[in-house]
Copies of this chain bind each other. A is one copy, B any other.
Amino acid sequence: MGKPMISLFPSERHDHSACVDAALAQARDVCREQGGRLTPQRQQILELVWQEHKPVGAYALLERLREAGIKAAPPTVYRALEFLLGHGLIHRIESLNAYTGCTAPGTPHHGQFLVCSQCQRVAELDEPSISGELDRSARQFGFEIERQTVEICGLCPRCRGNHHD
């Protein structure tokens, strides 16, 4: 009974290197189209953001950079993040002060995020029905939307199953 349940939360043993490769390839395409320079450093930071399907904080990225032997200061990370945000290659999760790879870069979309409070993984949605309702409500009150922040915190399918915290 019920519709097939599409999994936005990839399994534990999916081929994650494929995710990363795809993200990097898409990023190169997007930058070529938009005339942005995906420098090695920016690419490396994008790759670090993609290490997991979890949002990463700026200082965690800084830590990872240093572990990779690169001595960097906060502005290095924040500048790369600014570039990546500007080209729609990552999103910022406001409720976590953290950053996550965009799964549909290049295509204009509002991100809507399902954030698991247990495993921290994030799934990105772009449901027209949600955006539509937001648009409708905003219009009703004479409000002109510039940007939507929709972050839904809760339990992902897998963590709902594992009720042994």
Contacts and interface: CB of A to CB of B under 8 A. Distances in A.
Interface stretch (A10-18, A19-27, A65-73, A122-130): A122-130
Interface stretch (A42-50, A101-109, A139-147): A139-147
Contacts of A60: none
Given A127-B133, A130-B130, A141-B8, A155 B149 contact: no
Copies per assembly = 2
B152 A145 contact: yes
Interface string A111-136: 01010110000010101011011101
Contact of A114 (B94, B143, B150, B160): B143
Given A147-B153, A151-B94, A142 B130 contact: no
Nearest to A117: B146
B153 A150 contact: no
Contact of A149 (B127, B153, B156): B153
27 contacts: A5-B140, A6-B140, A94-B151, A112-B137, A116-B143, A117-B146, A127-B137, A129-B133, A129-B137, A130-B130, A132-B133, A133-B133, A138-B154, A142-B160, A143-B154, A143-B155, A143-B157, A145-B152, A145-B153, A145-B154, A146-B155, A147-B152, A147-B154, A149-B150, A149-B151, A149-B153, A150-B150
